Structure 1
Amino acid sequence: MAINWFPGHMHKARKEIKKVMSDVDVVIELLDARIPFSSSNPLVGNLRGEKPVIKLLNKADLADPKVTEAWQAHLEKDNAVKSLALSATADGKIKMIANLCRKLAPHKVDSDKGISAMIMGIPNVGKSTLINSLAGKTIAKVGNEPAVTKRQQKIKLDNGITLSDTPGILWPKLEPATCGYRLASTGAVKDTAMEYEDVAWECLKEFRVLYPNALKDRYGLSEFGSDEYELLEFIGKKRGCLKSGGVVDVHQAATIFLQDLRSGKLGRVTLETPKMMEAEMAEFRAMLEAKREQEELAKKEKEDRSGKRTS
């Protein structure tokens, strides 16, 4: 099952962001430190052009610290990018964001207009919480579900920086499919747009390889079974997710697993590494190229058959 979720307000937000981007000095893109690649919206790169960007790896307290370091080194290979790992809910590093803005827009430091920074990111990545922390008061509405912010708003900070908050936007088609599943597993996609069992199965494929001990410790497992479905059944049995007749309620087991992942009860985990995503994207691009060649060949064969019929 492919996961796609692009509400109407996201399309509207994209158009509005494009209109005002010329007035922005620095883009602040919030990423989920557990899935830095999958939570990086390709539309952000298209919209910002050559504007400098601060990539904040939020929820770093839930992510694997060694993998987070690897992602920061990978991201900063681009000279226009600065990165910072933090937790928007409670982190002294939040004060460092203003300093990074000044470094990336030195020509605006002493300007009467100050620095204009736009915060962008996928839904439910913590933008509103970060803005409230930067402002030192509750300005942006916060909710533990995606798509709480529906429109742009500007917030003037005491340090000469004006923030533009934008709604969390996904892109119309979440590809490759694995990115869609990772986004769903961390809560960036509304639950009504996903099947819990499908998302849990896909997530467990990676989890049993990357963090097998986390599964063993959390659910008291001694074995994982032959596939993800059997592993989910084991989790369900350990958590008492049983229907009449002793049948495992796989949906309930999937819900428990995903809630444990999102809340950090499975420990500090990251579901993708830079090397892993480079390999995955190379495979995805090769698949697209093969599909394009097949479509061109089918088109040519159709044209040849049509030409024979008319001759």
Structure 2
Amino acid sequence: MSHVDASLPSIQYDWRAEFKRLEGAYAPSTIRAYYTDIESYLHWCAAAGRAPLPGSIETVCEYLMEQGPKFAPSTVRRRLYAIRKAHRLLRLPDPTYDEEINLTFRRIRRGKLARPRQAKGMTREYLDQFLAVQPDTPWGVRNKAMLSLGYDLLARRSELVALTVDDIEFRADGTLRVLIRRNKADPAGLGRVAFTSQRTGRLVSDWLKWRNAGYAPLFCPIYQGRPLDRSLSDTTLRRLIKSTAKNAGLDPQDVADFSGHSMRVGAAQDLLRAGHDTAAIMRAGGWKTTNVLVRYLENAEHNVWA
């Protein structure tokens, strides 16, 4: 984890020691976000000459208002939750439940009238282009398998890089049965089962034939032409999607709109175009509510009903 620099004031409470208690109870990405958000809050308090822990209602409100113009409401809300978690772990009086905090956040949210930016969907058409431009190298073999599998599973990037060899099963027809063990909507890790196309089964088989069979992670880094026995980072997957879009010769604005969510978005849009209803798409992608899914499907609606 990163460290607060020497310019921060001396703080009586060892919040890092307390945050270690979260390990195993929260996803690593959530814990990293908490660390980042608390450090942001501490830096702001240092510059403003405010006591951060315990923080006053006024201090937290001013911090949130300062963050509001810079970040999306979801980011500001996450930083509020991080401040709340720090106070609760340290068993300090928690200012974040005061009604003034709620009113402050509502002002921030109402002040952001722009719609959330939607990732561009990696639909089947784009997937075919992305697979076609992969190089004839071990990296290309891995990337083809990863992109095709991510599309078929409607996978979040964190789900895709977390897959292990034990999570996939080759079926007699050349397809795969895949157990997605855990995601942010399934903290208990009950998982969901998904199936793939024969093309994806073939591409994953090609990848596994190249890499060491004794490695647990399904997708791993490659260094100097050799696989490493560890999982890829979700950042690597995001960079892959953007660089592949660029190599496919897409418009720069389209390249900018692709993200780590593009596989999930594009596959959902294709399912809608194919005539599947919202309930079926929710089951396929493991959505618990329609809030996010509806945004994903907006760009597909015109083609369906035109």
**TM-score, normalising length: structure 2:** 0.29
**TM-score, normalising length: structure 1:** 0.29
- Greater RCO (Cα-Cα under 8 Å, separation 6 or more): 1
Q: Which has the higher strand share?
A: 1
